[in-house]
A and B are shown apart, each in its own frame.
Chain A
């Protein structure tokens, strides 16, 4: 979860989020370099007081300031597209979890073992008094998923549009009634992850958080069996 005055990303909870952070850092490095370059020349140009009235064109410089940014953009595009296609690879999932948005709570359905067991969990936000200082984030029940297992999450809604998101896992999917949106995630560590509904859905839109715990596979099945 976020802490006070935090400006950067939360610690990554999934392998995809780690890659997103690396890509963000790489792109930010380029952005800051370009920004510094532009600001320096802008300031120099403003304070120098020298003006060349005969300078109306320059073929070489115009060529360079077209080609150089294009090369920078190509360099950004390669990892960007690589990540984009990587997160859309749905062929390797081992577990299917359905997320259904309601006004104003989330419910989860998990089937295992050839549809032998269906677990359905409804997660309501804890009121302020029961939230131990983490107001608007805690729920009475939470979803548990095994770590290091590719999970296929199918998001839909029972009434209006919601959005299911976990920033530390780098996933977000709109819950649209009548539609199944597929997300792919592999949790990388055992921890508690928090998120909040991200699409305006009525009076209690701010009060339907998402809470997910990453656990080992045996712990996941113990949870399913409620031992």
Chain B
């Protein structure tokens, strides 16, 4: 693996090529890609900054209100993890820990 590439995979995860070996290209396409945050009519245009931030805030509010095990909160979690750059997420997580997050949750 080249030094410019980092792959983060949870423990016990099966490599994708192994998981999808033996399947045709069409089958792989159907199963993979899986998740795309659904189109949100509140953010119809090119600027998706608020989409990313709103999902992050909604997830934080959801877990504070309903607890971390509440499954519907995962909708917001998936959305922000797919939309937001990792650097932004890390910065916001740090702000939450330091109590300097700019939104009242």
Contact = CB atoms under 8 A, between A and B. Distances in A.
Interface of A: 88, 90-91, 93-96, 98, 100, 109, 111-124, 140-141, 146, 149, 152, 154, 156, 158, 173, 178-183, 216-218, 221-222, 224-227
Nearest to A95: B33
Interface of B: 1-2, 4-10, 13, 15-17, 20, 25, 28-29, 32-39, 45-49, 51-52, 77-78, 81-87
Contact of A122 (B4, B10, B48, B84): B4
Nearest to B2: A141
A189 B9 CA distance: 30
Contacts of A140: 2, 4
Given A116-B10, A117-B8, A224 B33 contact: no
Given A115-B77, A116-B10, A181-B46, 5 more contacts: A96-B37, A122-B5, A141-B2, A217-B29, A226-B7
A188 to B, nearest CB: 15
A180 B52 contact: yes
22 contacts: A88-B45, A94-B36, A109-B85, A111-B81, A112-B34, A113-B32, A113-B34, A114-B34, A115-B81, A116-B9, A117-B8, A118-B7, A119-B5, A120-B7, A180-B49, A180-B85, A181-B47, A183-B46, A217-B33, A218-B17, A225-B16, A227-B17
